[in-house]
Structure 1
């Protein structure tokens, strides 16, 4: 969605509570990361210091991505429908500067809940490379993938940041997100603009059923931003500090 019609920004923050684990998508052992230059859609992403990887996926095609940084705490970023991993490049660069390892990756051939097998493969790569704490973050469909992964990735991740995901997930399957949010027990941050085409009431509905003891909803008022757009422009003054504070806290 284009960044238009944004007004002065203020924020409504809601915090609540409850905790737990998740299911177990079987995946093969991760392959060793390569050091060649990123190819395909990943070639447009920042390549300085990037280490390309290809991860085998159970029941699907291998997925490709890049890792930046070499810290023990990591963030796996998942992008919006119709977008690109590179849309998160600026955020990735900033996270590396803040002491994180970051993985950007390209969706493969799986859809629906099976896509979490791809995310599992990426998390396995990041852990094999030395990450000891992993947080999932993403926008729109990537936010939904991160949210669902929060209850399915094993071992459990340290937390999830969900930007602009609610109502339904996956254009092919249109899975209702509320029952999936009800399984999320790891620390969770929800971010959304109240002027987004995604009704804020749907975001609040999903957030309300999240059973995690550590959860927080940040609503950027007057914002039409969707997904990673919330981390740019005037929205960033609210959304970015909330995201960074969450990441710092759950990866201590």
Structure 2
């Protein structure tokens, strides 16, 4: 989609050993997860418009060097933002079609690859997008990203306006995600398959059970699809887009 390609911008949040977060210009990351970085504080500044990354536009991907940098790919424009978090073993490029569909609906979309603790990445990027003008913000994640998004939704200084969690399992890096589900304050959509191979079925039933009354909805589809695969169900993708429309506008 030409509009989204023209509007790709690449930002880097540099996480120092001291835990200070700054914004600079770099590329799109991949590769294995770095060791978790905890107890970070955040200082966010605006970066200039960089060259697009290859998976989202036509120019070659530029990989960041050094540890501790979270590369954020931003598509589209506007004050309604969706922050997308990956499932394990995948990178932001797996969300390309979803991101472009969201941009076509008028949303700005932030994608990234993990560096360190997934939940802290999600908190940091949500904070970044709020600082850059997001008036409405949703967290969308699959599997590991679903767990990170659930936890992050309870830790951002401004709660998200919506949360979509696809196939979140019970634990993330030793954290019981149900404890965060019990603290949710934003409208939440949990989605899982009824025979999820990673036990997300029972985990999502637990999330729905402990979430505050009236906050969340649980959708269970037949089969074994996990994470982003769930969006291959037309009913699920339609429900996700409709849910975002209701809560972001």
Mapping of residues 33-72 of structure 1, within 5 Å = 33-38=47-52, 43-47=53-57, 61-72=68-79
Report the TM-score, using the length of structure 2 for normalisation: 0.75
Determine the structure 2 residue equivalent to 1:88: 95
Report the TM-score, using the length of structure 1 for normalisation: 0.75
What are the ranges of 5 or more consecutive residues in structure 1 without an aligned counterpart?
1-24, 55-59
Determine the structure 1 residue equivalent to 2:13: none
Determine the structure 2 residue equivalent to 1:192: 192
Following TM superposition, where does structure 1 have runs of at least 4 consecutive aligned residues deviating by more than 3 angstroms? none
Q: Does 1:30 align with 2:44?
A: yes
| Distance across 1 between alignment mates of 2:213 and 2:185 | 4
What are the ranges of 5 or more consecutive residues in structure 2 without an aligned counterpart?
1-38
Determine the structure 1 residue equivalent to 2:114: 107
| Distance across 2 between alignment mates of 1:89 and 1:28 | 28
Pairs aligned (count): 205
Contact 2:184 2:215 in 1 (8 A): no
Write the deviation string for residues 86-126 of structure 1: whole angstroms up to 9, x where unpaired.
Answer: 11111000000011000001111x22xxx433222212332
- Pairwise CA RMSD of aligned residues? 2.3
Structure-2 change in CA distance of 1:154 and 1:101 (3 Å): same
Contact 1:27 1:120 in 2 (8 A): no
Q: Does 1:240 align with 2:237?
A: yes
Structure-2 change in CA distance of 1:62 and 1:212 (3 Å): farther
Q: Structure 1 stretch 149-158 or stretch 117-126: which is displaced more?
A: 117-126
